[in-house]
Amino acid sequence: MAREKLDDAAIREALAKLEGWRLAADNGSISRTFTFKDFSEAFAFMTRVALAAETMDHHPDWSNVYKTVNVTLNTHDAGGLTGLDFELAGKMDRFSKS
């Protein structure tokens, strides 16, 4: 998938297809907090995401405290949001329900 920065209309359209993601005020990133039953579930989620992100060569900015994983996505080399961010966000949504 191309690393071309999306315009505002494309961002709104892609964001509407996701559950629970928030757009930053500057339209430059999306973020979401995932909460799991315990640390093991949070870590398993992060492991699945890490493998997918590595395959995509697109890595999240994230942090983990016990059962909570905070994620921010953007494409640094494009200077904003690209299709890769929304693709990875969709995978994260699916992984969080597994």
pLDDT of residue 33: 98
CATH number at residue 52: 3.30.1360.20
Q: Is 59 part of any domain?
A: yes
In a domain, 12, yes or no: yes
Confidence label for 2 from pLDDT (cuts 50, 70 and 90)? low
Q: Is residue 2 part of a domain?
A: no
pLDDT tens for residues 49-95?
999 999 999 999 999 999 999 999 999 988 899 999 999 999 999 99
How many domains, in total, are found in the chain?
1
pLDDT, average across residues 25-42: 96
pTM over 0.85: yes
Q: What is the pLDDT of residue 3?
A: 84
8 A C-beta contact, residue 75 and residue 29: no
What is the per-residue pLDDT across 5-16, written as a single tens digit (0 to 9) for each? Answer: 999 999 999 999
76 found inside a domain: yes
